[in-house]
Amino acid sequence: MSTVFTNAFIYAGGPAHRCIPDGAIVIDAGRIAWMGPAASRAPQAGEVVRDLGGKVVMPGMINTHAHGGLSLHRGCGDEGDLFEWAASLAPFTSTMTDEDNLLSTWMAVMEMVAHGITAACDCARYGAGLFSQVASTVGMRSVSGALANSPELRPNGKPNWPSALEETKDAMAARAGDGLSRFFLGAHSPYNCTPALLVEVKQAADDLGLPFAIHAAESRKEVQIVLERHGRRPIEHLHALGVLGEGAILAHCVWVQPHEIAMLAEAGAGVAHNPVSNGKLASGIAPIRDLRAAGVPVGLGTDSTLSNNSLNLFQEMKVAVLLQRTASLDGFALKATDALAMGTHEGARVLGWDDEIGTLEPGKAADFVVLDIDHPLGLTPGRVMSDIVYAAGPQHVREVVIAGRTVFRDGRFTQFDQDEIRARIKTRYGRN
Ligand SMILES: [Zn+2]
């Protein structure tokens, strides 16, 4: 049975940033069967009609870098650079139990969906399949995996490789065919992993046909560490080891030089840009314009609630623009349309999922967000795109549709008992 969302101002996204005022979207079997001006299509017998009353519809936002398992200790360590901050939080994060990890992941998935995020690439340390398990229950898309560490370089905590490989294989089997779950194999970083581990993880990813994910070139100190150890900068190091390749997902890439950008472009790698996290941890401002100009797809990421502290891609879009303009003193350095591209279809490219998600067009998955955006002068394409990036936030999200299914509407999730989950969280952490 088809469902028609009509009387909508559709921002369909894509490179053309197509808008359809007074539009309608027809959904059939989880996909967009038809989209266009509402007046140009006659209602058909038997279809369910949803009148959106002029609200805005945009593609579901895509979070290309997250750590759902790190949602419990938000605000427990807000100062310091990357290394100082990580050290301040280690007493909390290193004592987490599996139940903490699970409930933390629930918090993250609920926050993301309620904020209009329909797909996320989540990097665990332990429990590589956990995010996909929760996301699928909620009805959200995920690209899940764990980032392997070398115990001799990251001694706090137990080793997570090859256990991450086994967890990933188990999750792939458990959620095969659900249409929402994809996976990667990853390594934490060039400074927390030996060259041998990086190569081993990449090889395992290739064997399973999965993308390889890693944090890279996040801070200046990381560059110094990798230079001292290996005589190469982080991207040079990854390139020399042969772990950069088509579809690799690199978080951060703040400290990359032009020749390293060329390496990323040549490899076909994508970048997850985390502007709020990079700012909070005093890491720096990634050269987004140069990366994109070289043909490297750039998506946006929230990173964890420890380094952000919210999972809000509206904010990432806005901050991405502000930081590029602040760093360059060029008011045209990045525009709202660039931010929208990174938050939607370019993010989908980074995750290798752009054949199905990231834009609204017939044949693609019906993943979209309904926003209650009003403008004193009325909605036009320019005002809608500007408002989404500079004025809107989670408070404007009225409904989230993923694979044609409404998973969140008017503050309530539809696929699970949110009161039960919230009660579980309150009980466990003694907040009754
Ligand atoms: Zn991260």
pLDDT tens digits, 293-335? 999 999 999 999 999 999 999 999 999 999 999 999 999 999 9
Distance 189 CA to ligand 1 centre (A): 10
Quick one: 273 and 319 in the same domain?
yes
Burial of 359 (0-12, 13-18, 19+ CB in 10 A): buried
Q: How many CB atoms lie within 10 A of CB 152?
A: 10
Distance 66 CA to ligand 1 centre (A): 6
Under a CB-based contact definition with an 8 Å cutoff, are residues 9 and 22 in contact? yes
Quick one: 33 and 152 in the same domain?
no
Quick one: 54 and 80 in the same domain?
no
Distance 111 CA to ligand 1 centre (A): 17
Say what the pLDDT of residue 156 is: 80
Q: Is residue 336 part of a domain?
A: yes
Q: Phi, psi at residue 197, to the nearest 5°?
A: -65, -40
Distance 28 CA to ligand 1 centre (A): 36
Which CATH number fits the domain that encloses residue 130? 3.20.20.140
pLDDT tens digits, 327-359? 999 999 999 999 999 999 999 999 999 999 999
Q: Is the pLDDT of residue 282 over 90?
A: yes
Side-chain half-sphere of 248: how many Cα atoms within 13 Å?
30
Say what the pLDDT of residue 247 is: 95
- How far apart are alpha carbons 114 and 134 in whole angstroms? 14
- How far apart are alpha carbons 160 and 186 in whole angstroms? 11
**What confidence tier does 94 reach under pLDDT thresholds 50, 70, 90?**
confident
Distance 391 CA to ligand 1 centre (A): 27
Quick one: 71 and 168 in the same domain?
yes
Q: Is the pLDDT of residue 431 over 90?
A: no
Quick one: 377 and 343 in the same domain?
no
Under a CB-based contact definition with an 8 Å cutoff, are residues 131 and 180 in contact? no
Quick one: 173 and 227 in the same domain?
yes
How large a percentage of the chain has pLDDT more than 90? Answer: 96
Domains identified in the chain, total number: 2
Q: Is the pLDDT of residue 135 over 70?
A: yes
Domain-terminating residue out of 329, 350, 371: 350
Say what the pLDDT of residue 155 is: 81
**What confidence tier does 70 reach under pLDDT thresholds 50, 70, 90?**
very high
pLDDT tens digits, 408-418? 999 999 999 99
Top-confidence residue, 154 or 193: 193
Quick one: 309 and 407 in the same domain?
no
Please name which of 393, 350, 354, 107 lies closest in space to residue 252, comparing C-alpha atoms: 350
Distance 65 CA to ligand 1 centre (A): 6
Say what the pLDDT of residue 260 is: 98
Distance 399 CA to ligand 1 centre (A): 28
Distance 91 CA to ligand 1 centre (A): 18
**What confidence tier does 158 reach under pLDDT thresholds 50, 70, 90?**
confident
Average pLDDT across the chain, whole number: 97
Say what the pLDDT of residue 63 is: 98
Distance 67 CA to ligand 1 centre (A): 6
Distance 206 CA to ligand 1 centre (A): 22
| Token representation of residue 276 | 């709020």
Quick one: 34 and 135 in the same domain?
no
Residues in the chain, overall count: 432
| Secondary structure (DSSP) of 206-233 | HHHT--EEEEES-SHHHHHHHHHHHSS-
Q: Is the pLDDT of residue 157 over 90?
A: no
Domain-terminating residue out of 350, 377, 401: 350
Quick one: 249 and 373 in the same domain?
no
How large a percentage of the chain has pLDDT more than 70? Answer: 100
pLDDT tens digits, 363-388? 999 999 999 999 999 999 999 999 99
Please name which of 275, 276, 250 lies closest in space to residue 261, comparing C-alpha atoms: 250
Domain-terminating residue out of 350, 375, 398: 350
Q: Is the pLDDT of residue 432 over 70?
A: no
Say what the pLDDT of residue 1 is: 83
Which CATH number fits the domain that encloses residue 382? 2.30.40.10
pLDDT tens digits, 111-123? 999 999 999 999 9
Distance 256 CA to ligand 1 centre (A): 17
Query: Span 60-82, mean pLDDT?
Result: 96
pTM (2 d.p.): 0.98
Which range marks the domain in which residue 42 is found? 3-59+360-413
| Secondary structure (DSSP) of 315-355 | HHHHHHHHHHHHHHT-TTSS-HHHHHHHHTHHHHHHTT-TT
Distance 251 CA to ligand 1 centre (A): 7
Q: How many CB atoms lie within 10 A of CB 419?
A: 10
Say what the pLDDT of residue 366 is: 98
